[in-house]
Amino acid sequence: MLLKTAFIGTATAASFLVQQPSMAEAASVTASKADIELIQTTSDRYRLALTDKEKFIADMATEQQDITTSPLPPQIPAITFQKLSKFAHNVDGKLDDADDFPFVAIEYAEHAGAARDFAKLSRLGRIGENGSPEVALDYAKRCVLELEEASVILDTLRQAVE
């Protein structure tokens, strides 16, 4: 617990210390609620994206896909997981030691990043002299596999902080 120490006293009277909660501590509790909500909403968006995998793959591989918007859930910043690691607890059968929370978060980030890479490659796979719908479809399928892995891992992280 971070505490701010204030010195109160006079030159002739006995001095004593008064400890008050610091502003950083109050902000970290508030930030952790917002961070937990971010993980919850992102986890829900993964589930929503993966409800109809065939449609998701077809949408990613189609030429009419809007390249300005991503069908993928947003990436969760690493700092979010760093802040929440002190609040994490064990999840039976999934996260046996709460100290492993940061390592599981890294694994999530790797899968989420790979999904983003495959989504970009799916868009690019339609263009150029070697581009074709089959190439785009292959990358879209790989993207969904990575999304599934990221979703399972994020659900575990979500359970660890709820």
Tokens of 35: 């961070």
| Residue 153 pLDDT exceeds 90 | yes
108 inside domain? yes
Q: How many structural domains does the chain have?
A: 1
Can you give the pTM of this predicted structure?
0.76
21 inside domain? no
What digits encode the pLDDT tens for the residues 99-131?
888 999 999 999 999 999 999 998 888 887 777
- At residue 152, the pLDDT reads 95
Cα 154 from Cα 110, distance rounded (Å)? 12
Candidate ranges 1-5, 24-28, 91-95, 104-108; pick with highest mean pLDDT: 104-108
- Name every residue whose Cβ is closer than 8 Å to that of residue 102 and which is 6 or more positions away in sequence: 81, 82, 85
Cα 116 from Cα 64, distance rounded (Å)? 19
Do 4 and 21 touch, CB atoms closer than 8 A? yes
- At residue 92, the pLDDT reads 85
90 inside domain? yes
For tokens 């189609």, name the residue. Answer: 62
76: domain range? 29-161
What digits encode the pLDDT tens for the residues 17-75?
444 445 445 445 555 888 999 999 999 999 998 998 998 888 887 766 555 566 788 88
8 inside domain? no
